[in-house]
Amino acid sequence: MVTMKEALEQSSVSIAAGQIVKGKAIEIRPKEVLVDIGYKSEGVIPIAEFDDPSQIQVGSEIEVLVERLENKDGMVVLSYEKAKFKKNWERILQIASEGSKVKGKVKSVVKGGLMVDIGVEAFLPASQIDIVPPKNLEELVGKEFEFKVVKVSKERQNVVLSRRELIEQERNERKAKLLAEIQVGDIRKGIVKNITDFGAFIDLNGLDGLLHITDMSWGRISHPSEILQIGQELDVVVLDIDREKERVSLGLKQKTQNPWENIDEKYKVGQHVKGKVVNLVPYGAFVELEPGVEGLIHVTELSWTKRITKPSDVLKKDQDVEAVVLAINREEQKISLGIRQLEANPWDKVSEKYPPGTHVKGKIRNLTSYGAFIELEEGIDGMIHVSDISWTRKINHPSEVLKKGEEVEGVVLEVDKEGQRIAIGIKQLSEDPWANIDKYYKVGDLVTGKVTKLASFGAFVGLQHDIDGLVHISQVSEERIDKIKNVLKVGQEVTARVIKIDKQERRIGLSIKAANYTPEQLQEEQKLLDSLKPGEDLVALQKAFEQADVENKEEPKEEVKEEKPKEEQEEKPN
């Protein structure tokens, strides 16, 4: 008969460290469970190794791993957790080869990814969780997914998983199927995946399509985010398909009718319309009449009378405005609008109110190099050209005789209704003195006047009737004069003899030295002048009036000769 001691010795022979054996719970303690495995001593297992300690009761049969047959207290060291891992690891090695699929539950978040329970703990890198890694990994804890085994290490006893590869594989399968069956004109459901400045990418359940910003709405959109947001579900129309490049163009506005198709029925030229200013540009303002339909108010159509340079000076974005339809172009999808047409054009009555010959008064509103603008009434200006200021004086700039804000009188010369211009003259208020010059002056007359300007070649003398005569330097004295300023001063009163009158060139030549000539001497002087060749007339010097503005400003380097070449005599001084 076998004794108890022999039985224990026989049973202990079959138990060794590293084995998985069956045992029975014989005592449940606060921090450990006492287990009998049929060895000469019991073993203990930390209660923390059990997922649900409440399910372990005295008498429960459990499988454990023998770590050591005896510790310092003479007890067997057991592990329930390691027994479970070893059994599962052997099973994993059989079913979870690299490339296979397994199911598991996310157990916890760790550095770099997630730990997944697939029977054993496996690692799921954050980059392999999804195509776009989730921002909050904690939300995945406790959820079950299917994974692909990408790496198994027997030595380290660890497994690396990927959920992303399965998602991409499924996506590619759906993409291939979708590309094979999708057609232009189809309406498909999609989810906004990404938004850019030029459009949005829509996930069509496996295939991304581009919804360009111009195909989102018939109306004006500054950015796709105005009407779309990531994650939004919407129906889109398939506009174009490139199966080779796997590209699909989508549209949103195409689900509704193009408002421009029946634009001629909705709007007529001359019709009053209301809308909202949606954009301001240097050349005008765009007004939304209805979603998808905008009209342009050109800057010139804002006012009949005011010269508006920037639409933003009178309009603001989002402002409600009323306008008149001026033109419609359905093909180019353009509508021209005007605001000034809401009121009568004051220029329609300008021709009646200011016919040529009308005497008008007004203040100088602005001066330019070519003339002066006079305000006749609010919004109506007339322009006095520099050549219409004086019959006799050569005026280089209107500021020589006119000032801004000064009230002046003039005569209407011409009205251009289309160009919205009124030409006004000041000199026309009086008669042109040169028309009756023979009544005022004759050769040989003795005249008195004041020196008004000095030039290197002579002096200008102001006469009656606002006419200037020229005394050439050679006609000042019998003696030779090197510099005119040595003998004459501006403002000095002189007496001179008229020695030349040229009606065509509107010139009067004077001679101071001839003031005391006898008729015989004057006749000789006249013969001398008449004998000069064309272009050599001393009073026909072109430089005389060209330099009228620079006299006394600088000293001439050398004396100007009497005779000037004909080609220099182009400008006609008064």
pLDDT in single tens digits along all 574 residues of the chain? 444 444 444 444 477 776 778 888 888 888 888 888 877 777 888 887 777 777 778 888 888 878 777 777 777 878 777 777 777 776 666 666 666 788 889 989 899 898 988 777 789 999 888 887 788 888 889 889 888 888 877 666 678 888 888 888 888 888 888 888 888 888 889 899 899 999 999 988 878 899 999 888 887 788 999 889 998 999 999 999 888 888 899 998 888 888 888 888 889 999 999 999 998 999 999 999 988 889 999 998 888 777 788 898 889 998 999 999 999 998 888 999 999 888 877 777 888 888 898 898 989 988 998 899 998 887 788 899 988 888 887 788 888 888 998 899 999 999 888 788 899 999 888 888 888 888 888 888 899 999 988 888 899 998 888 888 899 988 888 888 888 888 899 999 999 988 888 888 888 889 888 888 877 777 776 666 565 444 344 444 434 434 444 443 444 433 333 333 333 333 333 3
- pTM for this structure? 0.45
352 is in which domain, residue-wise? 346-429
Q: Does 350 share its domain with 411?
A: yes
Tell me whether residue 522 is exposed, middle or buried, using C-beta atoms within 10 angstroms of its C-beta: 0 to 12, 13 to 18, 19 or more: middle
Q: Can you tell me the distance from the alpha carbon of 127 to that of 125, in angstroms, rounded to the nearest whole number?
A: 5
Domain count, the chain: 6
Q: Does 415 share its domain with 470?
A: no
Is the residue at 224 inside a domain? yes
Is the residue at 474 inside a domain? yes
Is the residue at 436 inside a domain? no
Q: Does 465 share its domain with 559?
A: yes
Which residue among 342, 362, 391 closes a domain?
A: 342
Count of C-beta atoms within a 10 Å radius of residue 147: 26
Is the residue at 177 inside a domain? no
Q: Does 419 share its domain with 332?
A: no
Which residue among 200, 228, 255 closes a domain?
A: 255
Which pLDDT score is estimated for 297? 93
Q: Does 559 share its domain with 452?
A: yes
Residue pair 233/189 in contact by the 8 Å Cβ criterion: yes
- Tokens in use for 250? 């989508």
* DSSP codes joined into one string, 467-527: -EEEEEGGGS-SS--S-GGGT--TT-EEEEEEEEEETTTTEEEEESGGGG--HHHHHHHHH
The DSSP bridge pattern shows strands 380-385 and 421-425 to be: parallel
Q: Does 480 share its domain with 554?
A: yes
Q: Does 188 share its domain with 229?
A: yes
Q: Which residue carries 């709007």 as its tokens?
A: 267
- Tokens in use for 381? 């200006």
Q: Can you tell me the distance from the alpha carbon of 62 to that of 44, in angstroms, rounded to the nearest whole number?
A: 12
Dihedral angle, C-alpha 70, 74, 76, 81, nearest 10 °: -100
Is the residue at 447 inside a domain? yes
- Tokens in use for 216? 């989102």
Q: Does 449 share its domain with 529?
A: yes
Is the residue at 573 inside a domain? no
CA distances from residue 273 to 268, 294, 297, 325, 343 in whole angstroms, order as listed: 10, 11, 12, 7, 14
Residue pair 318/285 in contact by the 8 Å Cβ criterion: no
Which residue among 395, 429, 463 closes a domain?
A: 429
Q: Does 294 share its domain with 202?
A: no
Q: Does 250 share its domain with 327?
A: no
Q: Can you tell me the distance from the alpha carbon of 546 to that of 366, in angstroms, rounded to the nearest whole number?
A: 26
CATH of the domain at 196: 2.40.50.140
Q: Does 289 share its domain with 315?
A: yes
SS3 readout for 314-361? CCCCCCEEEEEEEEEECCCCEEEEECHHHCCCHHHCHHHHCCCCCEEE
Q: Does 458 share its domain with 494?
A: yes
Is the residue at 434 inside a domain? no
Is the residue at 45 inside a domain? yes
Q: Can you tell me the distance from the alpha carbon of 572 to that of 574, in angstroms, rounded to the nearest whole number?
A: 7
Distance of CA 81 to the CA centre of its chain: 67
